């Protein structure tokens, strides 16, 4: 069953189209990754799905309700954590939980139980009286997630929940996301970190408001790049990259650690082309491997293709 | 309603941690009361007077004594030339100058009219005209006394019907500006808390992004509006109590009329000031903007055009018409009426009705706008 069905969703700000006819579907209980460069339109899409922004055209069913026609019903079933920290910094941990719990109409035992749960996942048991502004970034994000799902919604939208958080906290945060998904809660999450995209069941990539790729990480890697990709370990990395980029059999190149990733194109015949090139320009090649593309390769390839 | 209460609770928790807010809410009213009660005191109980007495007769000295005995005047100087007098008045050393002609006593004893010249420093119009009024009063008293005396001397009985004008100043018997200004501070304080602070509080949530978080909750726009406004109503009435206590116990200005009607009309008044605050919050993106719009778009026109700072009767006709669109105008009339004159609903129902109509309209329209913004 699909929790979210998006159809031709479009948002214009004046004459500028921030989200352009985007369509996709998200299954119940899955972790759905939403990727794109800065300004691609991720936040705008999420805001429409949460009923904060009215779509210019198109529609989406979120938990079975139309975001264009019944945004109030949509709001009953969702949790949302915005890109900016949006708890009250000048309230204590407990006051924030009490406030949002109250707004969601939680009461009595159920509320006490949820409050305990939020404090538990945020690692704030016994620290209820701390001022929220004094918490470290990672803890703040966990508290924000906890309050966003205090009412046990079926669907959660997380807009860059891990930006600006250290790697260990990020890892912990993803454990939390996984545990939500295990409870059959649908999680739609945007991120800039491609390694985080690997934790998602399905991914979409948007660029300049348009959806340009979708599928699981495995599907993306096999479906969107049909040409061979090589990882080259060599001397004079920068020089080698410049040289390779000028060749008509090379699509894109990128640096990956100390190595170069070369995405070829239709004109590419075999590996010897690269060997010969390097020999003729005195670049010392240590190793050339044909590889399965990483997500980064796929995205660079797709985004470059989009530019051309 | 429970949701509204949660909201109100949250607002007060935030007040508690915001020292700036406290300064605004508590210190500003006290300062305003003191400044308007003391510094902006336009009262005249000590008018400096210069006399150029060219006659130096018994009668002219009697005349001058009337001024000193009235308690309102102090003679700072006897001058010997007209020039000296005009110079001193120009230098603001005196407010009033009196020139007594050479034949003052002679003319009067010969039953001729004598002309006394009075110079008034009119640079502060209000003060000047009040001082002039006093001067006229003393002079006409004196002239009446002469007429009576001379009539008596000549054995004429004054007819029973002779009229002695006796001026009585009502409502503000001591003619104190303080009595006029201090009660109106309530209107200003309520404006400050319900327009400026409300708009700032809403825009702050917009700026911080917490408004977005609220919008995704199932909270209804009216619940949010109430939750946001009620705390400021409470705050407004608390400061009103403070200002009125200062007024009663410090400045000794009692509330002569009905306190219930006073509170009721204050409530009607804040419907429009809250509405304005809400409206400003829907058109401002930053707190800075909200502050500017509140001060220049709402507070200044209210203060200048409501009769708070300047009497409406002294304004040009066209501006007088504009003042009818200013809610604070009606409230100021009510405040002064209730506190100084002790009148109530029977005399002030028109003003109350105007406040009610304006308040409901402004609040309704801004709430509609607020609702749209949520989408
Ligand atoms: N209210 C608005 N009015 C006008 N333009 C807007 C508005 N909100 C967003 N935009 C523009 O729409 C585009 C998409 O913005 P959006 O915030 O959705 O991007 P994003 O993918 O979330 O980017 P980021 O990774 O930086 O968060 C941007 O170019 C942005 O400037
Ligand atoms: Mg964004």
Best mutation target, B208, B217, B224, to test chain A (most A CBs within 10 A): B217
State if pTM tops 0.90.
Answer: no
**A209 C-alpha vs ligand 2 centroid, how far in Å?**
12
**A59 C-alpha vs ligand 2 centroid, how far in Å?**
20
Domain CATH for B94: 3.40.1710.10
Separate counts of helices (H) and strands (E) for chain B: 17, 4
Query: What are the pLDDT digits (tens) for A127-172?
Result: 999 999 999 988 999 999 999 999 999 999 999 998 888 888 899 9
Q: Where are the domains of chain A?
A: 2-218, 226-292
B252 in a domain, yes or no?
A: yes
Torsional sign, CA B24, B26, B31, B33: positive
Is the domain of B318 the same as that of B287? yes
Residue nearest to atom 25 of ligand 1 (CA): A38
Is the domain of B100 the same as that of B206? no
Instruction: Kindly provide the ipTM of the predicted complex, given to two decimals.
Output: 0.83
B64 in a domain, yes or no?
A: yes
Q: Which helix (H) or strand (E) holds B98?
A: strand B96-100
Residue nearest to atom 1 of ligand 1 (CA): A13
B164 in a domain, yes or no?
A: no
B115 in a domain, yes or no?
A: yes
Question: What is the CATH architecture of A226-292?
Answer: 2-Layer Sandwich (3.30)
* A65, A46 contact by CB (below 8 A): no
B123, B154, B185 - which closes a domain:
B154
Residue A69: burial class (beta carbons within 10 Å; 0-12, 13-18, 19+): exposed
Determine the Cα–Cα distance for residues B344 and B333; give it in Å rounded to an integer.
11
What is the distance of C-alpha B239 from the center of its chain? Answer: 18
Q: What is the pLDDT along chain B (375 residues), one digit of tens a residue?
A: 889 999 999 999 998 888 887 787 788 888 888 887 776 555 566 788 899 988 888 888 888 888 888 778 888 878 888 888 888 888 878 888 888 888 888 888 887 888 888 888 877 666 777 788 788 888 888 888 887 777 777 776 554 343 444 444 455 545 466 777 888 888 988 898 889 989 998 999 988 889 889 989 988 888 888 999 999 999 889 989 999 999 899 888 889 889 999 999 999 999 999 999 999 999 998 999 999 999 999 989 998 899 888 888 778 889 999 999 999 999 999 998 999 888 888 888 999 999 999 999 999 998 888 865 554
Q: Which of B2, B3, B209 sits opposite A84 (nearest CB)?
A: B209
Q: Is A13 in the pocket of ligand 1 (CB under 6 A)?
A: yes
Structural domain that includes position B89: 47-154
Q: Which helix (H) or strand (E) holds B151?
A: helix B125-153
Best mutation target, A75, A78, A88, A130, to test chain B (most B CBs within 10 A): A88
A82 touches chain B (CB under 8 A): yes
B162 in a domain, yes or no?
A: no
* B40, B124 contact by CB (below 8 A): no
Higher pLDDT, B149 or A12: A12
Given 3.20.20.450, 3.40.50.20, 3.40.50.300, 3.90.1300.10, which CATH number is that of A2-218? 3.40.50.300
B58 in a domain, yes or no?
A: yes
Determine the Cα–Cα distance for residues A282 and A286; give it in Å rounded to an integer.
12
A102 touches chain B (CB under 8 A): yes
CA distance B234 to chain A (A): 20
* CA distances from residue A165 to A53, A140, B115 in whole angstroms, order as listed: 27, 10, 91
Is the domain of B62 the same as that of B89? yes
Q: Which helix (H) or strand (E) holds B70?
A: helix B58-70
Q: How many domains would you assign to chain B?
A: 2
């Amino acid at each position: 069953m699909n929790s979210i069905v998006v159809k031709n969703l479009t948002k214009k700000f004046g004459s500028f189209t921030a989200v352009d006819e985007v369509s996709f579907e998200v299954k119940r209980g899955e972790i759905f990754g939403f990727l794109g460069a800065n300004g691609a339109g991720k936040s705008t899409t999420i805001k429409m799905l949460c009923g904060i922004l009215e779509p210019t055209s198109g529609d989406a069913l979120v938990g079975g309700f139309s975001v264009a026609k019944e945004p109030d019903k949509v709001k009953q079933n969702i949790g949302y954590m915005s890109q900016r920290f949006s708890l009250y910094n000048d309230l204590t941990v407990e006051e924030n939980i009490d406030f949002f719990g109250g707004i969601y109409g939680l009461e009595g035992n159920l509320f006490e139980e949820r409050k305990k749960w939020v404090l538990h996942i945020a690692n704030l048991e016994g620290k209820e009286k701390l001022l929220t502004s004094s918490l470290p970034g990672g803890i703040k994000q966990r508290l924000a997630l906890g309050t966003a799902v205090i009412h046990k919604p079926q669907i959660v939208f997380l807009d860059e929940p891990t930006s600006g958080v250290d790697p260990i906290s990020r890892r912990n945060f993803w454990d939390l996301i996984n545990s939500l998904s295990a409870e059959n809660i649908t999680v739609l999450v945007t991120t800039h970190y491609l390694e985080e995209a690997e934790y998602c069941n399905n991914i979409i990539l948007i660029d300049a408001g348009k959806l340009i790729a979708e599928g699981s990480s495995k599907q993306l890697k096999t479906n969107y790049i049909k040409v061979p990709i090589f990882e080259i370990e060599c001397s004079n990395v920068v020089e080698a990259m410049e040289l390779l980029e000028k060749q008509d059999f090379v699509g894109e190149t990128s640096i990956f650690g100390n190595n170069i990733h070369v995405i070829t194109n239709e004109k590419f015949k075999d590996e010897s082309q690269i060997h010969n090139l390097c020999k003729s320009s005195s670049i010392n090649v240590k190793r050339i491997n044909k590889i399965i593309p990483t997500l980064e390769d796929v995205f660079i390839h797709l985004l470059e293709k989009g530019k051309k | 309603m429970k949701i509204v209460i949660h909201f109100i609770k949250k607002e007060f928790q935030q007040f508690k941690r915001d020292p700036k807010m406290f300064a605004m809410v508590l210190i500003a009213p006290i300062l305003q009361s003191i400044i308007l009660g003391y510094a902006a005191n336009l009262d005249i109980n000590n008018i400096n007077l210069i006399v150029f007495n060219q006659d130096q007769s018994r009668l002219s000295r009697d005349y001058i004594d009337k001024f000193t005995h009235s308690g309102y005047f102090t003679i700072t100087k006897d001058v010997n030339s007209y020039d000296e007098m005009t110079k001193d008045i120009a230098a603001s050393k005196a407010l009033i100058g009196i020139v007594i002609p050479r034949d003052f006593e002679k003319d009067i004893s010969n039953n001729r009219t004598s002309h006394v010249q009075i110079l008034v420093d009119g640079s502060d119009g209000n003060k000047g005209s009040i001082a002039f009024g006093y001067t006229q009063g003393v002079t006409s008293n004196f002239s009446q006394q002469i007429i009576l005396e001379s009539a008596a001397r000549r054995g004429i009985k004054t007819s029973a019907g002779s009229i002695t004008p006796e001026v009585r100043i009502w409502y503000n018997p001591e003619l104190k500006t303080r009595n006029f200004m201090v009660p109106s501070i309530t209107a200003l304080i309520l404006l400050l808390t319900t327009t400026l602070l409300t708009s700032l509080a809403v825009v702050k949530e917009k700026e911080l992004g917490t408004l977005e978080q609220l919008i995704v909750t199932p909270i209804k726009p009216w619940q949010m509006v109430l939750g946001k406004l009620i705390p400021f109503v409470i705050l407004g009435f608390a400061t009103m109590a403070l200002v009125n206590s200062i007024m009663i116990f410090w400045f000794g200005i009692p509330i002569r009329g009905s306190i219930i009607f006073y509170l009721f009309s204050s409530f009607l008044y804040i419907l429009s000031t809250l509405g304005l605050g809400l409206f400003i919050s829907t058109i401002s993106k930053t707190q800075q903007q909200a502050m500017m719009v509140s001060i220049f778009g709402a507070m200044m026109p209210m203060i200048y055009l409501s009769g708070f700072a300047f009497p409406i009767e002294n304004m040009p006709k066209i501006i007088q018409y504009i003042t009818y669109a200013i809610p604070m105008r009606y409230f100021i009339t009510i405040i002064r009426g209730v506190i100084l004159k002790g009148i109530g609903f029977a005399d002030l129902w028109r003003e109350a009705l105007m406040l009610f109509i304006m308040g409901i309209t402004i609040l309704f329209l801004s709430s509609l706008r607020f609702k749209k913004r949520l989408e």
